Amino acid sequence: MDAAFKLFFLVCIIVLAVLTFFCLVRTIKGPRLVDRIVGTNMIGTMTIAVIALLAAYLNESSILDICLIYAIMSFVAVIVLTKIYIGIYNEKKSRQSRIEEESQDEY
């Protein structure tokens, strides 16, 4: 039974690694910035799952500490990227409103 669990964990780790690669492609190729942020979040989430599965596969509970630290870092990274995105959106919006005001002043 132990061999079956080890094989299951190994297959899950490989599947998550392949899916992480697809998320990386979406993050790089994504047509919008939102796609890139969601792709980055998914890469972080899948990496956390891989680390947790690796901890169960190796039967090492100390690896779970690394998993928790990575989860915090991933969360902070997504928050920072979202904050940057909101700043870019607000800047575009204010620039567009200034252009509209200037065009109305000309008439």
Residue 5 CA to residue 96 CA, distance in Å, equals 57
Q: Is there a contact between 61 and 55 (Cβ–Cβ < 8 Å)?
A: yes
Q: Is 9 left (phi over 0), alpha (psi -120 to 50) or beta?
A: alpha
Q: What is the pLDDT of residue 2?
A: 85
Q: pTM of this prediction?
A: 0.78
Predicted pLDDT at 15? 96
Q: Domain coordinates of the chain in residue numbers?
A: 2-106
Instruction: Tell me the pLDDT of the chain averaged across its residues.
Output: 90
What is the tens place of the pLDDT at every residue in 96-107?
888 888 877 766
For the domain spanning 2-106, the CATH number is: 1.10.287
Cα 70 → chain centroid: 12
Q: Give pLDDT < 50 ranges for the chain.
A: none
